Amino acid sequence: MRKAFHVADLSRGQAYTILGSAALMMTLAMGIRQNLGLFQAPASRELGIAISDFALAISVQQVAWGLSQPFAGILADKYGTRWVSLAGSLILVAGLWLTATAESALPIVVGSGVLFGIALACTTSGITANIAARVVRPERRTLAFGIVSAAGSVGTMVTAPLAAWLLTHDGWRVGLWAFALLAVLMLPAAWIGSRADKLPNGRATDLDLTLGKALGEARRHPGYVVMALAFFVCGLQLVFVTTHLPTYLAQCGMDPSYSALVLMLVGGFNIVSSWLFGWLGDKYPKRLLLGGIYLLRSVALVLFFSFPPTPLSVVLFGATLGILWLGVIPLVNGLVVQIFGLRFLSTLTGIAFLSHQAGSFLGAWGGGYLFDLVGSYDLAWKVAVMIGLVAGTMQLLMNDRPTARMQALQPATA
């Protein structure tokens, strides 16, 4: 067994190296994932498949990601992040290889759908939060969650121009092979980042906490249940916007470039958002910040969809969404640590994320269903706003008190 050491034993350089490696792993995974849609049209044309076939792969990816996240979290909490993140990195490379060599729709659904979803569960926020939580002092944990979370948006901004250039000059297969080479860099990043496994993931007095007891605590804690339900609404709102905004803007006669502009603004402001709410989460009640994000996001939807879009309103909407987007991740991670401690952080955030992904699926499919039903997005955005207001209010009022076990350990050192 490897000898464990304490956060205090780490030099600043060692802490930055571990955090930076975890951030790089998430940067590459999320950056590649966010840009898969760019390959949809050229791949579909060359292979003679429908656009919906490629879109199905992305939908399957969402489901596979959500279903895999709790299990990846359980493995990381029990055995450490090293083998989980290394396996996820290899699976992601395999998914890109399968997609790049595809001659029909099935390999794309398996590669970019099933394999990619599993890989994301093993290499993104649920795992990187586990690493970040161990490396920093307790009073700085939420900020660390935010910094690592921001890495996902950095990856999107860096890989997007690379993908666009390769698609223009060399085609979609070469672009995917280039992404596969980038994904190989996740392996050393995963190895170095997982050095945090040597650090304790809980107080000495709660290391005997079993998975069953942890799940029982979560099931009985009304605040955790509220947070998980609100996270469902978060996924619904965000994926509704990213999936259906291009169609809405086209309906309104706006140039397609504005859809790309919104996503670019979201990516850029996500970086600020993740850091900002991570920093605020160490200073102010996380439930209030999280509830405020949901409420303000709903207000932004009302203001945008209530009036015909203009270039200015599109820019403001994209920037506002970016500020209110990934800032939820460090707050959710921080609340789980506050209520339950570190021991099963990845497991409990993974279960909450499954709720998020269920909402994501409904946001994409439900928005399209309501559009087909009434011929516009009016009903869809009103439903998204209504449930967002309810979720935000519930989140503000959630019980965020630590469990009795954690309260009994308050005098102990984290």
> For 233-249, what is the mean pLDDT?
84
d(CA 368, CA 52): 13
Q: Dihedral sign for Cα 126, 151, 37, 159, please.
A: negative
Tell me if 100 sits within 8 A of 143, measured CB to CB.
Answer: no
238 and 193 within one domain: no
Read off the CATH number of the domain in which 189 is found. 1.20.1250.20
Neighbour-count burial of 405, counting CB atoms closer than 10 A to its CB (0-12 exposed, 13-18 middle, 19+ buried) = middle
Domain-terminating residue out of 199, 234, 253: 199
Same domain, 178 and 265: no
Are 74 and 188 members of one domain? yes
State the Cα–Cα distance between residues 63 and 347, nearest whole angstrom: 17
**194 and 216 inside one domain:** no
Question: What tokens were used for 327?
Answer: 């800032």
Of 199, 229, 246, the position where a domain reaches its end is 199
| Vertex 311: Cα angle to 384 and 388 (nearest 5) | 15
- For the chain, how many structural domains are there in total? 2
pLDDT given for residue 305 in this prediction = 94
| Residues 219 and 361 grouped into a single domain | yes
Token pair of 136 as six digits = 């920093």
Mean pLDDT of the chain: 86
187-197 per-position pLDDT tens digit: 999 999 999 88
Residue showing tokens 């499954």: 354
Asked which of 175, 199, 223 is the last residue of a domain, the reply is 199
Residue numbers of the domain that contains 374: 211-408
311 and 225 within one domain: yes
Contact 26, 151 (CB under 8 A): yes
Shared domain for 189 and 43, answered yes or no, is yes
User: What is the token pair recorded at 220?
Assistant: 């009985």
Write down the pTM of the prediction.
0.82
Same domain, 263 and 143: no
Q: Is the pLDDT of residue 297 over 90?
A: yes
Q: Are residues 218 and 326 in the same domain?
A: yes
CB atoms within 10 A of CB 9: 10
> pLDDT tens digits for 32-54?
887 787 787 788 888 888 766 77
Do 195 and 219 lie in a common domain? no
User: Is 1 part of any domain?
Assistant: no
Q: Which of 226, 252, 265, 242 is nearest to 363 (CA)?
A: 242
First to last CA, the chain: 22
pLDDT digits (tens, 9 = 90+) for 374-403: 888 899 999 999 999 999 999 999 999 999
Nearest to 136 by CA among 277, 3, 282: 282
Separation between Cα atoms, residue 287 and residue 339, nearest integer Å: 11
pLDDT of residue 375: 84
What is the distance between the alpha carbons of residues 10 and 134, in angstroms, rounded to a whole number? 11
Comparing CA positions, the residue from 101, 86, 267 lying closest to residue 184 is 86
Of all residues in the chain, the percent with pLDDT exceeding 90 is 45
Question: Minimal CA–CA distance to 239: which of 375, 125, 357?
Answer: 357
Q: Which among 126, 132, 148, 162 is positioned nearest to 271, based on CA atoms? A: 148
Tell me what pLDDT residue 218 has. 93
Residues 221 and 188 in one domain: no
pLDDT band at 1 (very low <50, low <70, confident <90, very high): very low
